């Protein structure tokens, strides 16, 4: 059945929201800037106080403004957090039901590119954090809880890299995919078999990646990350076969790991 486009006219408040977003896109507003006060907005848009407040509330819910009441209050532009930006995407995927194969098809494309983009951008604190995360994964994990903790540390390794990427789209996609894998680690906590070979593989790749980053060898970083993603996908398929259970965000069968 053909979908008939809605003929409903947009509400005035929605038009005001769209106009404020255009101000942001045009570079007229930046985080920390104050929006005009209610009276000025009413005059600019020729509308009532109620309409302005509805528009401001919508912008607040979307994370674009922060509203303070009382003397000196008003609406101030705020940058949208990663968590706020990805909440709706996560809700969307609850019903789209992507598989582990879907997830790794994308991870294998973007993770090597992000890894190479970060070469030369890591500082001493970043290297210290990466090495701490690797050290957490050296001891053999004796319990499901310990294995889960190591999987989390392995995923945090990738998050550290994403936070240093200066391409905002690439960083967003990689962090989001990483969080989807993290959701799956928690979801499958009770079903983890022992994964000694997987742990050793992650540890080896992360150790070699740190060395390549210190040498600022982008080609080696890209190659190592591509191999790392291939191995992670293989181990996830094997884990699915062992536990015969699961699903990404309640979806069809998949796996989890670095």
**One fold for 12-77 and 82-243:** no
- Cα three-residue angle 86-96-230, rounded to 5 degrees: 80
Rounded to the nearest 10°, the torsion over CA 50, 56, 62, 65 is: -160
How many Å apart are CA 29 and CA 32, to the nearest integer?
A: 9
What per-residue confidence (pLDDT) applies to 247?
A: 45
Q: How much is the pTM?
A: 0.78
Please state which CATH number belongs to domain 82-243: 1.20.120.530
Pick from 188, 104, 174, 177: nearest CA to 145: 188
pLDDT tens for the chain, 258 residues: list them.
Answer: 444 455 567 789 999 999 999 998 888 888 889 999 999 999 999 999 999 999 999 999 998 999 988 777 789 998 888 998 898 888 888 888 887 788 899 999 999 999 999 999 999 999 999 999 999 999 988 887 888 889 899 999 999 999 999 999 999 999 999 998 888 766 655 455 667 888 899 999 999 999 999 999 999 999 999 999 999 998 888 776 766 644 444 433 334 567
12-77 classified as CATH 1.10.10.350: no
Q: For residues 188 and 144, is the Cβ–Cβ distance under 8 A?
A: no
What per-residue confidence (pLDDT) applies to 24?
A: 87
Other Cβ atoms less than 10 A from the Cβ of 209: the count is 22
Q: Per-domain residue ranges for the chain?
A: 12-77, 82-243
Rounded to the nearest 10°, the torsion over CA 84, 118, 210, 142 is: 20
Pick from 186, 171, 6, 176: nearest CA to 91: 176
DSSP secondary structure of 53-121: HHHHHHHHHTTSEEEE-STT-EEEE-PPPHHHHHHHHHHHHHHH---HHHHHHHHHHHHHHHHHHTTT-
How many Å apart are CA 232 and CA 238, to the nearest integer?
A: 10
């Amino acid at each position: 059945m053909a979908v008939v486009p809605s003929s409903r006219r947009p509400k005035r408040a929605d038009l005001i929201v769209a106009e404020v977003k255009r101000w942001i896109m045009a570079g007229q507003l930046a985080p920390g800037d104050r929006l005009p006060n209610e009276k000025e907005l009413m005059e600019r848009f020729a509308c009532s106080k109620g309409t302005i407040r509805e528009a401001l509330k919508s912008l607040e819910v979307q994370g674009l403004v922060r509203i303070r009441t009382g003397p000196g209050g008003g609406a101030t532009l705020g940058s949208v957090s990663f968590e706020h930006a990805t909440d709706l995407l996560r809700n969307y995927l609850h019903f789209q039901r992507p598989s582990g194969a879907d997830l790794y098809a994308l991870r294998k494309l973007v993770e090597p590119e992000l890894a190479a983009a970060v070469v030369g951008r890591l500082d001493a604190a970043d290297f210290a954090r990466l090495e701490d995360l690797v050290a957490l994964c050296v001891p053999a994990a004796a319990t499901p809880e310990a294995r889960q903790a190591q999987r989390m540390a392995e995923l945090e390794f990738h998050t550290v890299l994403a936070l240093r990427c200066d391409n905002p789209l690439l960083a967003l996609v990689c962090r989001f995919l990483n969080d989807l894998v993290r959701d799956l680690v928690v979801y499958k906590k009770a079903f983890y078999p022992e994964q000694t070979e997987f742990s050793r593989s992650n540890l080896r790749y992360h150790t070699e990646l740190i060395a390549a980053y210190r040498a600022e060898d982008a080609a080696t970083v890209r190659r190592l990350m591509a191999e790392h993603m291939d191995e992670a996908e293989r181990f996830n398929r094997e884990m699915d076969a062992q536990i015969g259970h699961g699903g990404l965000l309640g979806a069809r069968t998949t796996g989890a790991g670095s």
